[in-house]
Amino acid sequence: MTQVLVVDAANVVGSRPDGWWKDRAGAARRLHEQLLVADVPQEQVVMVLEGAAKGGVRAGRDAHVRTVHAPKAGDDTIVAEAKAAAERGDRVFVVTADRILMGRVERYGATVMTPSWLLAIVE
């Protein structure tokens, strides 16, 4: 069983008041770079980007990190990624502080981790 970490990038980036709103693409790129070198306990990382943040990282795989561009609502894409991983039999972890999203992914057996948990690992 593979462990998959699905990252609500907007939620993680938005949890730090570091001026991310001035450069959403740059903030996404910095998070991606941090995830590439971070020692996360999961074998695979899926970083979901939406809106202007999509301009910071191309969609696709870089090592153990796969970047997904949400076609519309990022939350819907996060749920779809969590559901697909669960259906493959993977153990799913989702990083978000969004309570509604938490409930949606927990239906698929996902364990929810907080943005502060991830930031403690990547920073």
Structural domain harbouring 49: 3-122
- Of 81 and 19, the structure prediction assigns the larger pLDDT to 81
CATH number at residue 16: 3.40.50.1010
Mean pLDDT for the chain overall? 94
What pLDDT score does 48 carry? Answer: 98
Contact present, 11 and 95 (Cβ < 8 Å) = yes
C-alpha 55/C-alpha 61 separation (Å) is 16
**Residue 118, Cβ neighbours under 10 Å: how many?**
25
Chain centre distance of CA 87: 18
Average pLDDT over every residue of 53-80: 95
C-alpha 120/C-alpha 16 separation (Å) is 12
Q: How confident is the model at residue 123 (pLDDT cuts 50, 70, 90)?
A: confident
Q: Is 59 helix (H, G, I), strand (E, B) or coil?
A: coil
Q: What is the domain count for the chain?
A: 1
Alpha-helical (H) ranges within the chain are 9-14, 24-37, 74-87, 99-106, 115-122
What pLDDT score does 102 carry? Answer: 96
